[in-house]
């Protein structure tokens, strides 16, 4: 979830609805830490119209240097009777309100404003800002000799000529701003977030392709990048489709993004009701199309499970097929390496048989048994009843008591760290986390499966989930009337784990959403029980 401050309808407001406060300051010098304000001038605009002006001289409490007087025309005699900054600042902050601050080289002006705010006991201003210098550099740098305010004002035929007085310079900057907004509109910049990112956009050959996003809505959904052959080359999700897609053109210099944009020919957007639906849809589309640029989330060629074999002395086995054979499984895992890590973790926790030797076929036990890390029936001295205790402990851990497996691993990790064997302790930590994650996801899957159909809501987002699979979403209070069948479905042992990596990853997204603090379960077809919390491991 995005915890950053958002405003103006998640920054999707049209520029005509955004209040801009164009301001300028005059000072005794160039450093906010050692110099002071001598004048503030500001003009507030809404929809291109002036809705207010602010101007005042300020007594800096010190002599104004002669070169500043020559530059601005402000003399010490002019400010000696002027109010001090602590008197001026509250009124100016009220005038600003929640406007977007605008200035020419606005960092300079905001720097002095923040210094004054801190001096008077206020916090720094948090308003978003637009720099006309940055916009001009992006939009008209090839049309004009330099990007000084005087040059831009003349270029755009401003009725006000800048003269190094705050209000006049603010008026001229306001005229330049609106001229630049007209230019930006030809690039499809019509909303605030587009404007804020425009100065960082690179002038690459792919920049004109940003127009492909013009028809995308500002709603949650997924976007599909396609090449000239209409092949899907990338799938992504977004809370705001148009904003997210346009962000690819704002200065990301990674080679992977450049290659993606080089191949891009068209963009398809699919609107989703909720962010959860967008995340699920993205996952399903990636597994369907296997886009070559979705490297991290690309589906694996095969799924892997850790399985308890069906023998008199069962052992763990890595398999690539899920069968309804009445046996215990963990997984699925994206790779054999991930499955092996979990299997090794179980070996660290319990002395489960490791060798493949036929029971009683050797005169001595195998190396694993000699080292005391496994109980193996190689020499025929281990009875089935004795070994059953190990298997019962393993099954109890899988079916509700994960600490039976995790506690021994934690103890080994602590002992290794105490002995300063930090590398081995790190290996044990990784095994612990892999096993904890696998057991947590297995219990979550079984909890959703046993509940059957689930209706839940988080804030304004609602979801209907059935057998661990997302069916549909909605925005509250428009909850659809969905029948929930109370008849108990027939389950097989194979249902104890997801049937594929896709099903497992979708279930994990759903469970993460259901586990959010404010998510409310408003209806289920069968009792819904949250499994015991798998113990976390501190970093």
Catalytic residue set: 164
Omega within 30 of 0 (cis) for the link into 509? no
Run of H or E including 388: helix 384-398
**Residue 409, φ and ψ in degrees, nearest 5:** -70, -40
| Token duo for residue 466 | 């059935």
Distances (CA, A) of 446 to 354, 474, 491, 534: 28, 25, 11, 14
Q: Spell out a b/e string for 296-307, using b for 16 or more CB atoms within 10 Å of the CB, else e.
A: eeebbeebbbbb
Rounded Cα distance between 238 and 222, Å, is 6
Residues 6+ apart with CB under 8 A from 406: 349, 432, 435, 436, 439, 534, 535
Report d(CA 463, CA 387) in Å as an integer. 46
Cβ contact 36:113 at 8 Å: no
> Nearest 5 degrees, angle CA 71-CA 74-CA 79?
155
Phi, psi (degrees; rounded to nearest 5) at 463: -145, 145
* Helical ranges in 226-363 per DSSP H: 241-247, 255-263, 275-289, 336-349
Q: Report the distance separating Cα 361 and Cα 370, nearest Å.
A: 16
């Amino acid at each position: 979830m995005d915890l950053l401050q958002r405003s103006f309808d998640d920054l999707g407001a049209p520029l005509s609805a955004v209040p801009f406060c164009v301001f300028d300051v005059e000072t005794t010098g160039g450093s906010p830490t050692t110099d002071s304000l001598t004048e503030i001038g500001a003009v507030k605009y809404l929809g291109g119209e002036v809705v207010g002006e602010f101007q005042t001289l300020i007594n800096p409490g010190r002599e104004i240097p002669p070169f500043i007087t020559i530059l601005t025309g402000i003399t010490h005699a002019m400010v000696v009777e002027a109010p001090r900054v602590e008197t001026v600042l509250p009124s100016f902050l009220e005038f600003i309100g929640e406007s977007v601050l605008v200035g020419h080289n606005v960092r300079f002006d905001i720097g002095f404003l923040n210094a004054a705010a801190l001096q008077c006991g206020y916090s720094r201003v948090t308003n978003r800002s637009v720099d006309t210098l940055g916009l001009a550099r992006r939009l008209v740098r090839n049309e004009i000799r330099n990007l000084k305010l005087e040059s831009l004002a003349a270029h755009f035929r401003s009725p006000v000529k800048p003269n190094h007085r705050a209000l006049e310079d603010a008026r001229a900057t306001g005229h330049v701003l609106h001229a630049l907004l007209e230019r930006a509109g030809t690039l499809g910049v019509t909303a605030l977030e587009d404007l804020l990112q425009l100065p960082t956009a690179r002038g690459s050959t792919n920049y004109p392709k940003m127009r492909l996003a013009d028809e995308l809505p500002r709603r949650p959904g997924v976007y599909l990048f396609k090449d000239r052959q209409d092949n899907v080359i990338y799938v992504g999700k977004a809370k705001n489709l148009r904003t997210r897609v346009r962000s690819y053109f704002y200065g990301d210099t990674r080679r992977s993004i450049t290659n993606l944009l080089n191949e891009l020919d068209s963009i398809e957007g699919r609107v989703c009701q909720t962010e959860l639906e967008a995340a699920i849809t993205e996952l399903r589309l990636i597994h369907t199309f296997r886009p070559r640029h979705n490297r991290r989330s690309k589906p694996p060629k095969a799924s892997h499970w850790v399985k308890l074999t069906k023998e008199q002395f069962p052992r763990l086995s890595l398999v690539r097929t899920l069968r309804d054979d009445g046996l215990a499984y963990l997984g699925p895992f994206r790779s054999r390496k991930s499955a092996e890590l979990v299997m090794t973790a179980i070996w660290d926790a319990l002395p489960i048989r490791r060798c493949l030797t036929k029971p009683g076929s050797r005169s001595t036990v195998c190396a694993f048994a000699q080292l005391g890390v496994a109980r193996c029936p190689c020499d025929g001295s281990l009875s089935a009843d004795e070994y059953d205790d190990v298997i019962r402990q393993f099954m109890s851990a899988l079916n509700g008591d994960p600490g039976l497996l995790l506690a021994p691993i934690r103890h080994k990790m602590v002992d290794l760290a105490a002995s300063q064997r930090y590398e081995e302790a790190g290996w044990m930590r990784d095994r612990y986390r892999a096993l904890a994650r696998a057991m947590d996801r297995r219990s979550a899957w079984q909890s959703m499966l046993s509940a059957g159909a689930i209706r839940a809501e988080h804030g304004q987002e609602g979801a209907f989930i059935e057998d661990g699979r997302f069916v549909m979403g909605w925005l509250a209070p428009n909850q659809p009337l969905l029948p929930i069948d109370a008849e108990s479905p027939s389950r097989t042992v194979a249902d104890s784990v997801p049937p594929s990596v896709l099903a497992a990853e979708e279930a994990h997204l759903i469970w993460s959403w259901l586990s959010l603090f404010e998510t409310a379960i408003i209806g289920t077809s069968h009792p819904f029980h949250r499994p015991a919390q798998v113990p976390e491991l501190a970093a």
